[in-house]
């Protein structure tokens, strides 16, 4: 008799566990909107070209090979940065005229070895960008936010909520 009851007990336990998981997900409040403005989808075609024709700064579109994650003191090509964002990364760009103290704050916040635990994994590129319309631009896949000045809280929130929100978030 005990051998016959074991499958029934296991089935009841499994069904109960599955039901609890489904109920927990159903009762979970919706996630609040992510920071930034949603941008148009310009596709994600891989190309050899060095020309980019989408959003400025980029958030999607045809693109070349990605750049290495990290902090740059020179401009990085838009077509490469799109690939980084396709992999779930964040691109933070700033006008070259941004005051040095703000550039230093950005660099300290985002530089290797990316000690800030809020930014794990470390899929961030920081670079100057002469064509920025705002002093600081935060960009991720099909999303962007502009800042008039350094704002650590807004940067941390944008990175934490947009990191990995892309078509290929597990790619390096």
Of all residues in the chain, what percent carry a pLDDT higher than 70?
Answer: 85
Measured in residues, the chain has a length of 172
User: What is the Cα–Cα distance from 118 to 134, expressed in whole angstroms?
Assistant: 25
Measured over all CA atoms, what is the biggest interatomic distance in the chain, rounded to whole angstroms? 81
Q: What is the pTM of this model?
A: 0.77
Q: How confident is the model at residue 90 (pLDDT cuts 50, 70, 90)?
A: very high
Task: Work out whether the CA dihedral 147, 149, 154, 155 comes out positive or negative.
Answer: positive
pLDDT in the model for residue 115: 55
Q: Beginning with the edge strand found earlier in the chain, give each strand of the sheet holding 124-128 in spatial order.
A: 37-38, 143-147, 136-140, 90-94, 124-128, 70-71
Element (H, E) at 104: helix 100-110
pLDDT in the model for residue 119: 58
**Among the listed ranges 8-17, 134-143, 159-168, which one has the minimum average pLDDT value?**
8-17
């Amino acid at each position: 008799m005990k051998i016959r009851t074991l499958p029934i007990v296991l089935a009841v336990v499994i069904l109960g566990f599955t039901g609890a998981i489904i109920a927990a997900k159903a009762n979970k409040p919706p996630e609040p909107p992510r920071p930034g403005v949603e941008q148009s989808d310009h596709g994600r075609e891989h190309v050899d070209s060095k020309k980019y024709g989408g959003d400025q700064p980029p958030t999607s579109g045809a693109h070349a090979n990605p750049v290495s994650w990290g902090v740059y003191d020179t401009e990085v090509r838009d077509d490469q940065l799109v690939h980084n964002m396709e992999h779930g990364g964040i691109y933070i760009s700033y006008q070259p005229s941004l005051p040095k103290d703000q550039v230093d704050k950005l660099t300290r916040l985002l530089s290797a070895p990316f000690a800030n635990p809020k930014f794990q994994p470390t899929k961030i590129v920081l670079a100057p960008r002469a064509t920025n319309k705002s002093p600081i631009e935060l960009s991720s896949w099909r999303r962007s936010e502009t800042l008039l000045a350094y704002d650590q809280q807004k940067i941390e929130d944008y990175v934490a909520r947009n990191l990995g929100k892309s078509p290929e978030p597990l790619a390096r």
